[in-house]
Structure 1
Amino acid sequence: MQYISTRGGIEPVSFTEAVLMGLATDGGLILPRAIPRIGSETYTEWQELSYQELAFEVMSRFIDDIPEAELRNLIYSSYESFDSEEVTPLVHQGSLHIMELFHGPTLAFKDVALQFLGNVFEYLLEKNDSVLNILGATSGDTGSAAIYGVRGKERINIFILHPHERVSKVQEKQMTCVTDSNVFNIAIHGTFDDAQAIVKAIFNDLDYKEQQHLGAINSINWARVLAQVVYYVHACLHISSHENDKATDFSVPTGNFGDIFAGYIAKRMLPEGTIRKLLLATNGNDILTRMVQDGDYSLSEVLPTSSPSMDIQSASNFERYLYYLLDEDPNRTKQAMTQFAETGIIDLADFQDQIQRDFVAERATEDEVTTTIAEFYKEYGYVLDPHTAVGMHCVLRHQRKGIPVCCLATAHPGKFVETVEAAIGQSIERPESIQNLMGKESRCELMDADRNLIKEFVKKHAKHG
């Protein structure tokens, strides 16, 4: 399997080269040269597989430069820390199905991919006798999932910046209570935008980046998308056994387009008709909803909401879908993304028919999120977190009678206690892992939002081969 850039400026690379490259050197995103297709007979044979064995069958179609036994070991070790044997279990309510993606160590869907990516990084670094220093900025969830994905790994140090006193207590504790010697948390005086700007500026210093062996673990890495494809296939197999093999809709709360793009890949990969529709759900930060409904992919102000992981206007994974929308033409893709960087707008009105064949979209206001949490709890006794409630609102607006639909539950409600308890009018049980955090030792550096200070700190503590 060879991988290419959406902008066409690199020679084809292998999976392992793609993982280490992260962002293509021409500024594009990496994709497989072709999407493998799964025949009906093979798909049926997957019915009885465990999650780990299914992950191997799916991933091995995209990975041919890691030996089978070693790939299996990477997959199995990635999900040992999950508290569910099924990894991403499903809850069934008639023709409505909820896939719980929050059974990993940080109680968010990002664990599914980042546990795997952390292990792949470690494997490749050992194979190449090299080291990696991961540098990132977070508003909360990505930082903790990345830290848990690489904690204790001998060849990796991780440096995560977060805005001081601007993340939730749970998010802060999930990061700073990891005191492994290879983990460095840095709280800066400033905002998340300040932290992000520092990280981007450091990565743009190419000499420093090379000298300090810097790497990224964010959602543009193809390995993260691939790991998420697996749980769509897993859901389809389980739902088909409940629904007499009917085609399934998926509702996906998304802001960065990575999770729903994994669904798009799964839809193209599986036998035709396995996945019927992908329901794209956003909060008030609705650039993706506007793109689907009106062909309007244009920037607007980022609004703070109760579903902060989706408070995004420029979706970093959208370029991958745009490449397919533009008939896999790297020149047109590069031109469109250059235009977006300059103007903040891509006009996709001429592509509405195709976009609406691929997606249905809906936005949820803050009032609608609160109402959805309250009404769903009243009817089913099931507690939704605010992000999942955005997805469920989309389900309730678009579900068709007799069509099974699966809503992705992307975070545990215990991570957003204030919003959830205000909606349902009663206390909820905190997961034991969150309760245990509150009394734990924490370690964090508090620094000014000065990139030179950050560069000095990273240089002092970086691993060198």
Structure 2
Amino acid sequence: MDYISTRGNVGKIGFIDAFMMGLGNDGGLLVPSVIPVVSEETLKQWRELSYQELVLAIFSLYTNGEIPEQDLKDMVYASYSTFRDPEVTPVRKLKDDLYLLELFHGPTFAFKDIALQFMGQLYTYVAAKQNKKIHILGATSGDTGASAIEGVKGKQGIKICILHPHGKVSKVQELQMTTVREDNVLNLSVDGNFDDCQRMIKDLFADLDFKANHHLAAINSINFIRIMAQTVYYFYAYFQVAKQTGARTVNFSVPTGNFGDIFAGYLAKRMGLPVGKLILATNENNILERFVLEGVYKPGDFRTTYSPSMDIQVASNFERYLYYVLGEDAAQVRALMEQFKSEGRIVISGDALRKVQEEFGAHGVQGEECLTTIKAYHASAGYLLDPHSACGVAAADKYSGEGMTVSLATAHPAKFGEAIELCGIEQPFPAQISALFEKPQRQTRVDGSLEAVVRELEAFYQ
């Protein structure tokens, strides 16, 4: 298995080199040169595996044997030893045709833990084996930052800096990042929105001299290894639901802003998992919904919503899907991304758009619908959804009647108490979250300029 860029100007590289490169050196995103396809017989064998065993089986298709089997096994089991549920990602029944995949049982109560706990282990492994300095740089709309920090805080040879939009994440999300006291952690609270933070991250990774001189490594979903790790729970959820219901094909409803989590589902489908429709759930920042329904990818006015982790206009993983829907034509992708940079929009039509609409459904969930969904399922099923998971369930309900659906529950409701309070629901906070409010915070506020961020990074990396 080799890795190439969606823009065609990165030669084939191996697994660890792809992991360390993060963003392609040509500005594109790295993808496997060939997506491995698993047979029906293999799927039958995988049905009986534990979550950790399934991780190892899927990773073995992508790692090229570059990591000794025992080392990889040790990292995988260490990654998921911190999860509060022995199944790691358990499945719960909400109603006859709708199941919920709980992805929030990791240390920071969000789905990002599933990939980032492993990536933290892998960065630590590479730093030790290659005697390298690793400076992780990422942007967060709320959950990635805490999960990434949790994965590498206090680790030798690693520093991590996370940018988050000032005042635009939930209080718990902010506290999870900024109450960590380790010296290898820097939180930058940036005036602006997540798209501003993400753009600066991409600009810094595209500056190859800065990237090399400062040993930058990516934690965001621009790093393919994060997508690969998230692919596992689609297989696991399918197997659990198929065993319980006998369903041969399962739809997935995915709350997403950066297109990473749903792209992991697309990758699972390309690998041979019997996935029906991938239902893309967004909020008022619904650029991705418009793309699925109309073929137009164009940022609109940024909105602050009840589901802040999805308050994203420019989806960093969109380019990966564009590459595949255009027949893996890197030259065409390169031209369209240049067009997007200059004109601010991409339009597809004809066969390409028909292909998108065959593979995806989409629904933009407005604020009141999100809160109504939380209240309705709390009343009918006794289940409390966080606002992001509620968007996924609301979108699944729009496609009710089209088969068995698994909706992804991406965060614990305690992370978004502000929205839950608006629903008139009292919830007990887990002890780990309640304790955050008693801890001092440490963060640096910067203006929304790249120059201000660079100044902080250069001081931190010394």
In which range does the TM-score fall when normalised by the shorter chain?
Answer: over 0.9
Q: CA deviation at 1:440?
A: 2.4
Point out the more displaced range, 129-138 or 379-388. 129-138
Q: Give distance in 1, aligned partners of 2:373 and 2:210.
A: 48
Q: Give distance in 2, aligned partners of 1:318 and 1:180.
A: 34
The reply on whether 1:182 has 2:181 as its aligned counterpart is no
Q: Give distance in 2, aligned partners of 1:357 and 1:83.
A: 37
Q: TM-score, normalised by structure 1?
A: 0.93
Deviations 1:15-69 (A, max 9, x none): 1110100111111111111111111111111122110000000111111122221
Q: Give distance in 1, aligned partners of 2:195 and 2:263.
A: 25
Which residue is equivalent to 2:110?
A: 108
Q: Give distance in 2, aligned partners of 1:304 and 1:182.
A: 31
Which residue is equivalent to 2:260?
A: 258
Q: CA deviation at 1:382?
A: 0.5
Q: Give distance in 2, aligned partners of 1:165 and 1:5.
A: 35
Contact 1:132–1:213 (8 Å) recurs in 2: yes
Q: CA deviation at 1:168?
A: 2.8
Could you list the runs of 5+ residues in structure 1 that have no partner in the other structure?
A: none
Deviations 1:298-321 (A, max 9, x none): 221121111111111211101111
Q: CA deviation at 1:446?
A: 4.5
C-alpha distance 284-197 of structure 1, shift in aligned 2 (>3 A): closer
Q: TM-score, normalised by structure 2?
A: 0.94
Alignment of 1:149-188 (within 5 A): 149-188=151-190
Point out the more displaced range, 125-134 or 204-213. 204-213
Which residue identity does 2:240 align to in structure 1? H
Could you list the runs of 5+ residues in structure 2 that have no partner in the other structure?
A: none
Which residue is equivalent to 1:21?
A: 21
Q: CA deviation at 1:192?
A: 5.1
Count of residue correspondences: 459
The reply on whether 1:90 has 2:120 as its aligned counterpart is no
Q: Give distance in 2, aligned partners of 1:99 and 1:196.
A: 28
The reply on whether 1:230 has 2:232 as its aligned counterpart is yes
Q: Give distance in 2, aligned partners of 1:25 and 1:204.
A: 7
Alignment of 1:11-410 (within 5 A): 11-64=11-64, 65-93=66-94, 94-188=96-190, 195=197, 199=201, 202-203=204-205, 206-271=208-273, 274-350=274-350, 351-400=352-401, 403-410=403-410
Q: Give distance in 2, aligned partners of 1:389 and 1:300.
A: 23
Q: CA deviation at 1:193?
A: 5.9
Point out the more displaced range, 338-347 or 376-385. 338-347
Which residue is equivalent to 2:429?
A: 430
Which residue identity does 1:345 align to in structure 2? R
Which residue identity does 2:433 align to in structure 1? I
Point out the more displaced range, 234-243 or 205-214. 205-214
Which residue identity does 2:394 align to in structure 1? H
Contact 2:79–2:121 (8 Å) recurs in 1: yes
Could you say what secondary structure the match of 2:47 adopts?
A: helix
Could you say what secondary structure the match of 1:438 adopts?
A: helix
Q: CA deviation at 1:286?
A: 1.3
Which residue identity does 1:379 align to in structure 2? S
Contact 1:147–1:175 (8 Å) recurs in 2: yes
Q: Give distance in 2, aligned partners of 1:131 and 1:51.
A: 31
Could you say what secondary structure the match of 1:220 adopts?
A: coil
C-alpha distance 323-198 of structure 1, shift in aligned 2 (>3 A): closer
Q: Give distance in 1, aligned partners of 2:157 and 2:209.
A: 21
Which residue identity does 2:392 align to in structure 1? G
Q: Give distance in 2, aligned partners of 1:299 and 1:446.
A: 26
> Stretches of 4+ moved more than 6 A in 1?
none
Could you say what secondary structure the match of 2:361 adopts?
A: strand
Could you say what secondary structure the match of 1:148 adopts?
A: helix
Which residue identity does 1:305 align to in structure 2? T
Contact 1:198–1:449 (8 Å) recurs in 2: no
Q: Give distance in 1, aligned partners of 2:333 and 2:414.
A: 40
Identity of aligned residues (%): 46
C-alpha distance 228-193 of structure 1, shift in aligned 2 (>3 A): closer
Q: Give distance in 2, aligned partners of 1:30 and 1:198.
A: 19
Q: CA deviation at 1:160?
A: 2.2
Deviations 1:376-408 (A, max 9, x none): 11110101111111111111111216x211000
Q: CA deviation at 1:190?
A: 6.0
Q: CA deviation at 1:196?
A: 5.0
Q: Give distance in 2, aligned partners of 1:450 and 1:287.
A: 25
Q: Give distance in 2, aligned partners of 1:132 and 1:391.
A: 35
